[in-house]
Amino acid sequence: MNLRAMRSLWTFSFISLGILVFVAGCGPTATAPRKPEIKRTCAQCHPDKAAQYQSGVVHQPVKENNCEACHLPHGLVPTVQMRQPVPVVCLSCHPAFKEAANKKSVHEPVGQGKCEACHKEHNSEYPKLLNAKPEELCFNCHDRGAFTRAYVHAPVNDGCGTCHEPHMADNPRLLNQPDAELCASCHEINSTEFSKAHQGYPVTTNCVDCHAQHSSSDQGLLKEVVHDPVRSGDCDSCHQVEGASIKVQAPAEGLCLTCHDDVPAAAQHPPVKEGDCRACHAPHASDYDGMLGDKPTKVCLGCHDQGQKREGVLTVHEPASKGECLTCHDGHAAPGKALLKTEAPTLCFNCHDRKTYADTPKSHAPAKEGKCLDCHFAHESRGPNLLTKRESSLCFSCHRQTQGEKGLFSQHRPFAKGECTSCHSPHGGDKTGFLKETTDEGKLCMTCHKDLVGKRAEKTAHSPFAEGDCSMCHGAHGADQANLITGQPGEVCLNCHSDVETEIGQYKVKHDPVAKMQCVTCHDGHGSPHPGYLAKGMPALCLDCHGEVAKFWRDGALHPPAAEDCTTCHNAHGSDNSSLTKESIAELCAECHDQDEASFVDAHHGIKPGPGSCVSCHDPHGGPEKNLLYPVKHEPFSSGDCTPCHEGRAK
């Protein structure tokens, strides 16, 4: 957090606290004694909780059982609520932190108002309510390796507080004194021994230019990378002493080049051209390769803001995110533009295996030709994988014909979302169409459609589906029909089922779904355990559309053939008869009912029905009574007196 943002946070905190105090003091003036309130404290209602926090070092409000100092009463809702958010709630007892905004350096958790990063809120087994042992706590954030090299600075063993303030300080790096004074508090800088150790130079300040503050691999606590003149004690090669002052030999701008004559005169990097070596390098010693003056991220990004995770940036090239700019760039000069060590794709293939990204059996043209920057940014991107555009826009910039499929009615979900790499390898591979997996046996499709894997293995699976030939019926990107069907569903089905096409072409009357070529109304395209890959068994399938035929089945009587199998009487696709019956009504009923039997004639009061007249009285699917007669009857007929209408028509 920068200083300005930190000051805003603390200013807001104190204003909030001030408002609370002001409001608390602005109540109505008391004019009469008030009855004392009978109020139970948190600790009185929750003695178990109060006792839980009484061990070790206890926060003062907790020790006094004054939970209300920080928390609001529960009320009717059993939740623990703070009176104010951290750190505002802490400030009423710790007002010293109001100085944080005016300090030169503030510990990051303090600046962010995260008191709990280091402290427990109720009690702790460690002093000052710390979360861990003081000598271990700092290593929760700070890399232990920098403090545990072969030679450790003595104050480190005494604890970080020897040199640093834990919260805020008037000196950089949270130092409790200015750095020169701090070092002089232990080292006798005016002693002969100290002067001798520094080749007689009057060194009194800037100790950390050469020495590591915490630990080093060098016995003299020199930093990990040391300038040769410093290592050899040849300070005169760069400096000269004038009285009590140490000065750089003139001209300072070209001093480095007296030794480093390997730096080309035609260097392109501006600091090198201007002889400003210290813009990037430390003159004496460094903790970083190349004698850099600071972390590579800070050195390069002090001038170049690329590679930093900014708002809207989704991906950052790994070397850029780690500050490893010199992985791709030369710090002084290079034959290519932007100080690149080599041009792409040679440069890219230093890290990215050529066999994987370019020299595949079936290579994508841009990858094969090494045109990495046609698709990717070098440093950062607002999209995934450093892409220069949205994935689909990038692909469509070349594959314009495929872009036209975006207008189709039904679209494959990855295609609709522009996620081309869900199915395709953008650099290439060993599969046709740069697919990630072969389409044989439906392997590619089944990577997403896992729910169909088991169904495909069933014996009742539709043969194209069972064989994994998904493209026989479905489009890869989109189609003008639902479910990515490549044509009218009926047309797609009849490409294989030509015998059915011949059959339905002969019928005078066609089943409505057949007439509309909507095979999937009744059939499951992937298969089913029912005959003919029907989506449901009989009669459930037919009742989805013809539910009225079963209106008497529960509270009346049903015609057994209708309840067992509709195709006993009807053709599924079509017929030459109305109602799709296999034969005429007379022939159909006569297959089960012998009209010449005495019992049949007696049931009809001695009157022999005319051909095909059965359905004029009987419901062929079911009725309210066992005789399947329609519920509304002509009065003479209902009483069994047929002669008024059928006189003389007897047995």
> What is the DSSP annotation of 97-145?
GGGGGGSSEE-HHHHTT-GGGTB-SSEESSGGGBSS-HHHHGGGTS-GG
Interacting residues of 160 by C-beta distance below 8 A, sequence separation 6+: 134, 138, 166
Q: What is the pLDDT of residues 499-549, one digit of tens each?
A: 999 999 999 999 999 999 999 999 999 999 999 999 999 999 999 999 999
Torsion of CA 256, 262, 265, 266, to 10 degrees: -130
- Strand ranges (DSSP E) for 273-338? 285-286, 315-316
pLDDT for residue 469 is more than 60: yes
Q: How far apart are CA 395 and CA 561, in angstroms?
A: 59
Q: How far apart are CA 113 and CA 100, in angstroms?
A: 11
pLDDT at 645: 79
* Cα angle for residues 41, 47, 50 (degrees, 5° grid): 85
pLDDT at 80: 75
For residue 526, give the DSSP letter: T
3-class secondary structure, 381: strand
Report if pTM > 0.95: no
Q: How far apart are CA 425 and CA 420, in angstroms?
A: 9
pLDDT at 337: 83
- The pLDDT > 90 percentage for the chain reads 60
Q: How large is the average pLDDT for residues 246-259?
A: 80
Name the pLDDT band for 219 (thresholds 50, 70, 90).
Answer: very high
Alpha helices in 161-206 (DSSP H): 179-184, 192-197
142-166 core/surface letters (b: 16 or more CB in 10 A; e: else): eeeeebebeeebebbeeebeebbbb
Name the pLDDT band for 15 (thresholds 50, 70, 90).
Answer: very low
Interacting residues of 600 by C-beta distance below 8 A, sequence separation 6+: 593, 594
Q: How far apart are CA 207 and CA 327, in angstroms?
A: 31
Domain residue spans of the chain: 1-22+41-141, 144-252+262-294
pLDDT at 19: 39
Q: What is the pLDDT of residues 113-166, one digit of tens each?
A: 999 999 999 999 999 999 999 889 999 999 999 999 999 999 999 999 999 999
Q: What is the pLDDT of residues 354-380, one digit of tens each?
A: 999 999 999 999 999 989 999 999 999
Q: How far apart are CA 517 and CA 576, in angstroms?
A: 19
pLDDT at 643: 76
Name the pLDDT band for 310 (thresholds 50, 70, 90).
Answer: low
pLDDT for residue 402 is more than 50: yes
Higher pLDDT, 252 or 94: 94
Q: What is the CB-side half-sphere exposure of residue 651 using CA atoms within 13 A?
A: 11
Mean pLDDT of the chain: 87
Q: How far apart are CA 575 and CA 509, in angstroms?
A: 5
pLDDT for residue 37 is more than 90: no
- Segment holding 502, helix H or strand E: helix 498-505
pLDDT for residue 300 is more than 90: no
What are the DSSP calls for 603-637, one per residue? HTTT-PPPTT-HHHHB-SSEESSTT-B-SS--HHH
- Strand ranges (DSSP E) for 141-268? 151-152, 168-169, 215-216, 225-226, 239-242, 245-248
469: left (phi over 0), alpha (psi -120 to 50) or beta: beta
pLDDT at 256: 85
Question: In 3D, which of 391, 393, 380, 376 has the Cα closest to residue 311?
Answer: 380
Torsion of CA 330, 331, 335, 337, to 10 degrees: 90
Contact between 67 and 61 under an 8 Å Cβ cutoff? The reply is: yes
Q: At 277, give phi and psi (nearest 5°).
A: -65, -35
3-class secondary structure, 164: strand
pLDDT for residue 29 is more than 70: no
Q: The dihedral of CA 343, 346, 351, 355: what is its sign?
A: positive
pLDDT at 610: 81
- The pLDDT > 70 percentage for the chain reads 91
